[in-house]
Amino acid sequence: MTKYMDYRGYMGSVEFSLEDDILYGSLAGIRDSVSYHGKSIDELRVAFEEAVDDYLDMCAAEGLQPDSPFNGILDVTIAPSVYKQLIIYSAKNNQQVNHAVEEAIKKYVSA
């Protein structure tokens, strides 16, 4: 089962509210808040695509750079002891910390 839609490089979530009897969602992977809703899957898909188009049009009209989804920047806080181990591991393996973190995440998400 897919819980995300994709349009013009943006991903949108698919959620539902039993209380309001609607489907709704928001764009994933960007800092700006962009949401949409509909009564059916077809309505939700149209609303999602319109929300992406409206977001990009608004940014263009105001001369703003739209957030790029999944730009690769990850701000993470970890325990100091884990951070120390990461620095030591990276130094021993002669690699940048970012590379070590990326490799660890790749292994984790592909498992």
Q: What is the 3-state secondary structure (H, E, C) of 41-52?
A: HHHHHHHHHHHH
Q: CB neighbours of 18 closer than 8 A, spacing ≥ 6?
A: none
Angle subtended at Cα 30 by Cα 25 and Cα 33, rounded to the nearest 5 degrees = 50
- In this predicted structure, what is the pLDDT of residue 111? 79
pLDDT digit string (tens) for 1-52? 678 999 999 999 999 999 999 999 999 989 899 999 999 999 999 999 999 9
- In this predicted structure, what is the pLDDT of residue 2? 73
- In this predicted structure, what is the pLDDT of residue 95? 92
- In this predicted structure, what is the pLDDT of residue 50? 98
- In this predicted structure, what is the pLDDT of residue 74? 81
The domain locations on the chain are 4-61, 80-110
pLDDT digit string (tens) for 41-98? 999 999 999 999 999 999 999 999 999 887 787 888 999 999 999 999 999 999 999 8
- In this predicted structure, what is the pLDDT of residue 68? 86
